[in-house]
Amino acid sequence: MAAPVVTPPPQNTYPINIQSVESRCHQALDNASTYPGWNSSITSGDAIDPAHAMEAEELVSILSVRHLRTKMGDEPLNAARNRAQTLRNIHATDAYESTDVTGMMREMMRAIARLETESKQMQGSMTQMQGSMTQIQGSITQIQGSITQMQDSIKQMEGSLTQMTEKQLIMEAKFDNQSIIQNNRVFRMRAQRTRYNGRRKLFQEVVNNLPGRTSKR
């Protein structure tokens, strides 16, 4: 009887990209390329290998000694420590907390990517809204310009009406003066007639009172 086939458990993979210390460090170090893990990088989806964490921790030990003995800056050592800690956390999660945590990390990365996409979309919407606001402000400016033109036109019309009113008043004043002059003429003519009639009546009375004249009754 054939022995049953044992299927090996699925091998877990790294959920994120992990850059090398060399790519993260801007300080050049002599002979650093000979250090274990100095230029090693890991791509998301690569199989998890405990040797990666051990190699990264060995690099931390080497750089710690060099940091104490030489004038090496802090940047290479800090980069190596952060990389080793990241790898150790992933390996510890894979070993003791099953693949669920790794899946959660992947889901978190996807959520972050979605948030970034939504943020870009929101920024695009904000840009469109700002463009719309600019157009609205332009329309308001045009309306204000039209209102200003209308106000200027109204002022011109008011000025024209004022001029017409003044001309009308002048004409009415002239007409009134002519009426007064004409009335004065009538009054003078009436006065002259009254004086003439009075003189004529007086003359007639004088004539009638002359001797030998009999007044007419």
- Looking at the domain assignment, is residue 128 inside a domain? no
pLDDT greater at residue 9 or residue 23:
23
pLDDT tens digits, residue range 82-97? 999 999 999 888 777 6
In the chain, the percentage of residues whose pLDDT exceeds 90 is: 20
- Looking at the domain assignment, is residue 33 inside a domain? yes
pLDDT, mean of residues 102-126: 81
CB 63: neighbour CB atoms within 10 A? 23
- Looking at the domain assignment, is residue 179 inside a domain? no
- Looking at the domain assignment, is residue 40 inside a domain? yes
- Looking at the domain assignment, is residue 107 inside a domain? no
DSSP-assigned letter for residue 47: B
Token pair, residue 201, equals 């009546």
- Looking at the domain assignment, is residue 210 inside a domain? no
Q: How far is CA 215 from CA 2, 200, 207, 211, 212, in A?
A: 186, 15, 9, 10, 10
DSSP-assigned letter for residue 113: H
* R_g (Cα) of the chain, nearest Å: 58
Amino acid making up residue 115:
L
CB 5: neighbour CB atoms within 10 A? 5
C-alpha torsion 139→141→147→150, nearest 10:
-100
Is the separation of the CB atoms in 29 and 72 below 8 Å? yes
Structure confidence at residue 156 as a pLDDT band (50, 70, 90): confident
Cross-strand partners of 42: 18
> What average pLDDT does the structure give for the chain?
82
Q: Which residues contact 84 (CB under 8 A, 6 or more apart)?
A: 53, 56, 57, 59, 60
pLDDT of amino acid 178: 75
User: Does the pTM of the predicted model rise above 0.75?
Assistant: no
In the chain, the percentage of residues whose pLDDT exceeds 70 is: 87
Asked if pLDDT for residue 146 goes beyond 50, the answer is yes
In the numeric block, the tokens 């458990």 are attached to: 9
- Looking at the domain assignment, is residue 192 inside a domain? no
pLDDT of amino acid 69: 86
Structure confidence at residue 17 as a pLDDT band (50, 70, 90): very high
- Looking at the domain assignment, is residue 51 inside a domain? yes
21-30, 100-109, 116-125, 203-212: which range is least confident on average? 100-109
pLDDT of amino acid 9: 46
Among residues 28, 22, 120, 16, the alpha carbon closest in space to that of 72 is found at 28
Asked if pLDDT for residue 106 goes beyond 90, the answer is no
pLDDT of amino acid 84: 94
Count of the separate structural domains present in the chain: 1
pLDDT greater at residue 19 or residue 2:
19
Report the distance separating Cα 205 and Cα 202, nearest Å. Answer: 5
pLDDT of amino acid 200: 79
Domain that holds residue 79: 13-96
Structure confidence at residue 103 as a pLDDT band (50, 70, 90): low
- Reading phi first (left if > 0) and then psi (alpha if -120 to 50, else beta), residue 31 is in left
